[in-house]
Chains A and B, each alone.
Chain A
């Protein structure tokens, strides 16, 4: 039988290895520069490995910028967003998947329309609304605009539709009301789906750079991306070792989280891909 792939496996390995090296290089470079002495960074030539590794950059980074505060802000904001999103998208997704009511089609079209509205178009009115409510530079300003996730409603509808209808009928016959049905029957069954959405939500909002720049005024309220970018530009490019150390501190929690929750994250992306 003939081979299925044009090039031999060796070439595929070579390609993947080279591409993989380029992909991880910035991470390695950040890590290696974060333990370098200043004179090593400024020495001409390609210096990848420090001869006298030091953790001084990390100590300096932690004292010069409120990095732990950035991380804490990131946790507060992303957890609040994910929890509140689930609280509103689960009932809505269930209604669209399982209930019949007037205006079903129209309301679902509205959800699809909301899906098409990019963050930049909402930015100015959202900013004006939040500032008229006196919420600029607060956690609610970072959380409120993202609770009504059209993507989440859409995803939950897909998941609820896949559940067998007999199960719901049986629960109904046993006298469950809608609340009990969602809480005792559907939620346990959809836990993987909820986890997938939560991971997706946490990763995308943790990484969001644009919105914190818009609504946050003081350094102490920044989430990690805005915090590290502010720190890097305030420094003026003199202490790259310290900036890289700050980068490592800011990026490590999410990278670990991603590696642990990778399956859920990729699953939620693939799900959206297969379903269109």
Chain B
């Protein structure tokens, strides 16, 4: 009798001890699957990438050798890297500025006409969602020197043909045009979301006080849109910095590196020549550039949140 009671007590005690222990573990068990994948495929690669960048190693050519920062020294004295750095900064500036200005204009115009708003949105967002690599193939056809529609239009209005994808500046322009075509709708969607947060009565009050429409745009819409604008600037800067598809399909980085952006150079060094150590150094520098953009964003957001 006494024995039985003790046993029951023990069972009860162990059960009640088990529940808190599980409860303590619970959150970590829920996090475990996601963190396992993130650790193996995101965090470990970042660390390993830095390690690889200190090695002299070509994949498939024997063992690696520790060389310290030699890869970085080589990188910053290599003309093709410095060229890619220049091309990437230029491409990013022009493409993100173009997309943002166009996206803002589209958002304001859609809000202005008020009719068919979601149809316009779908139309302008289509390039963002469609397969960039496939559309870049279409653009390569359109930019073709002999049978492309763009040169056909140019000759129709009496201008000379342009050898778009084989000239430095024109190939760069072509890649930028395709970049803007594929991103302006992205900026538009974000701006439209931001515009809906501006209270209508501000405009009514300003109008009653005699503010002209330009003044309303300048002193109400644009200032109140600033948090959205900063977010859009960052998103589009990162998006442009990471562009790859249009370059790969349209020019493959050519002619003579005129459109060689960092992401494409990394692809060439890492997966065409398998310069694993050198390409890892490139990846690390690229990562630092992206981090700087992200940090600037956080600073700017803290600075501007006054609404």
Name A's B-contacting residues (CB within 8 A). 1-7, 9, 12-13, 15-16, 19-20, 22-24, 26-27, 29-30, 33, 41-42, 44-47, 87-89, 91-92, 94-96, 99-101, 104, 107, 110-111, 114, 116-129, 144-148, 150, 153, 178, 203, 206-207, 209-210, 213-214, 224-226, 228-229, 232, 237, 240, 243-244, 247, 250-251, 254-255, 258-259, 262, 265-266, 269-270, 273-274, 276
Contact: B41 with A240, CB < 8 Å? Answer: no
Enumerate the 4 nearest inter-chain pairs by beta-carbon distance, A residue then B residue, closest first.
A148-B37, A125-B45, A225-B133, A92-B34
CB-CB under 8 A from B44, the residues of chain A are 125, 129
- The residue that A117 contacts in the complex, of B42, B112, B142, with Cβ under 8 A, is B42
Contact: A120 with B31, CB < 8 Å? Answer: no
Determine the residue in chain A with the shortest Cβ distance to B105: A15
- The residue that B263 contacts in the complex, of A91, A120, A203, A237, with Cβ under 8 A, is A120
The CA-CA distance from A19 to B125 in the complex, in Å, is 12
- The residue that A23 contacts in the complex, of B31, B46, B127, B271, with Cβ under 8 A, is B127
Given A122-B46, A209-B248, A210-B244, residue A94 in contact with residue B30 (CB < 8 A)? yes
Which B10-67 residues sit within 8 Å CB-CB of chain A?
24, 26-31, 33-46, 48-49, 52, 59
B279 at the interface (CB under 8 A from A): yes
| Nearest CB of B to A203, in Å | 5
Contact: A274 with B134, CB < 8 Å? Answer: no
CB-CB under 8 A from B35, the residues of chain A are 92, 107, 110, 148
Given A16-B120, A87-B33, A213-B271, residue A276 in contact with residue B42 (CB < 8 A)? no
CB-CB under 8 A from B280, the residues of chain A are 124
The CA-CA distance from A267 to B217 in the complex, in Å, is 26
B203 at the interface (CB under 8 A from A): yes
Given A124-B49, A124-B276, A129-B40, residue A276 in contact with residue B231 (CB < 8 A)? yes
Interface string of B132-146 (1 = CB under 8 A from A): 111111111110100
Contact: A118 with B270, CB < 8 Å? Answer: no
- The residue that B45 contacts in the complex, of A121, A178, A243, with Cβ under 8 A, is A121
| Nearest CB of B to A4, in Å | 5
Contact: A153 with B286, CB < 8 Å? Answer: no
18 A-B pairs with CB atoms under 8 Å apart are A1-B204, A6-B214, A7-B112, A20-B120, A26-B127, A29-B149, A95-B30, A118-B238, A121-B45, A121-B46, A125-B48, A147-B37, A207-B133, A225-B245, A232-B137, A255-B126, A270-B189, A270-B193
B287 at the interface (CB under 8 A from A): yes
Given A114-B38, A266-B125, residue A247 in contact with residue B137 (CB < 8 A)? yes
Contact: A121 with B147, CB < 8 Å? Answer: no
| Nearest CB of B to A102, in Å | 9
The CA-CA distance from A128 to B35 in the complex, in Å, is 20
Contact: A4 with B266, CB < 8 Å? Answer: no
| Nearest CB of B to A69, in Å | 16
CB-CB under 8 A from B270, the residues of chain A are 123-124, 127
Given A88-B37, A120-B242, residue A265 in contact with residue B129 (CB < 8 A)? yes
Given A120-B242, A120-B283, A124-B52, residue A46 in contact with residue B153 (CB < 8 A)? yes
Contact: B42 with A150, CB < 8 Å? Answer: yes
Contact: A118 with B131, CB < 8 Å? Answer: no
Contact: A148 with B242, CB < 8 Å? Answer: no
Determine the residue in chain A with the shortest Cβ distance to B132: A207
Given A30-B138, A121-B45, residue A258 in contact with residue B266 (CB < 8 A)? no
- The residue that A20 contacts in the complex, of B123, B130, B131, B291, with Cβ under 8 A, is B123
Interface string of B233-267 (1 = CB under 8 A from A): 00100100010110011000000000000010011
Contact: B194 with A273, CB < 8 Å? Answer: yes
Contact: B185 with A23, CB < 8 Å? Answer: yes
Determine the residue in chain B with the shortest Cβ distance to A153: B34
Main secondary structure of the interface of A (DSSP, over half): helix
The CA-CA distance from A190 to B263 in the complex, in Å, is 37
CB-CB under 8 A from B170, the residues of chain A are none
| Nearest CB of A to B218, in Å | 9
Contact: A119 with B242, CB < 8 Å? Answer: yes
- The residue that B134 contacts in the complex, of A116, A120, A124, A228, with Cβ under 8 A, is A228
Q: Select the stretch in B69-77, B90-98, B205-213 that faces chain A.
A: B205-213
B108 at the interface (CB under 8 A from A): yes
| Nearest CB of B to A170, in Å | 19
B166 at the interface (CB under 8 A from A): no
The CA-CA distance from A145 to B45 in the complex, in Å, is 11
- The residue that B152 contacts in the complex, of A46, A95, A213, with Cβ under 8 A, is A46
Contact: B113 with A117, CB < 8 Å? Answer: no
Given A114-B38, A124-B276, A273-B194, residue A33 in contact with residue B141 (CB < 8 A)? yes
CB-CB under 8 A from B301, the residues of chain A are 276
CB-CB under 8 A from B135, the residues of chain A are 26, 247, 251
B78 at the interface (CB under 8 A from A): no
Contact: A23 with B49, CB < 8 Å? Answer: no
The CA-CA distance from A23 to B124 in the complex, in Å, is 7
Given A29-B138, A117-B46, residue A213 in contact with residue B267 (CB < 8 A)? yes
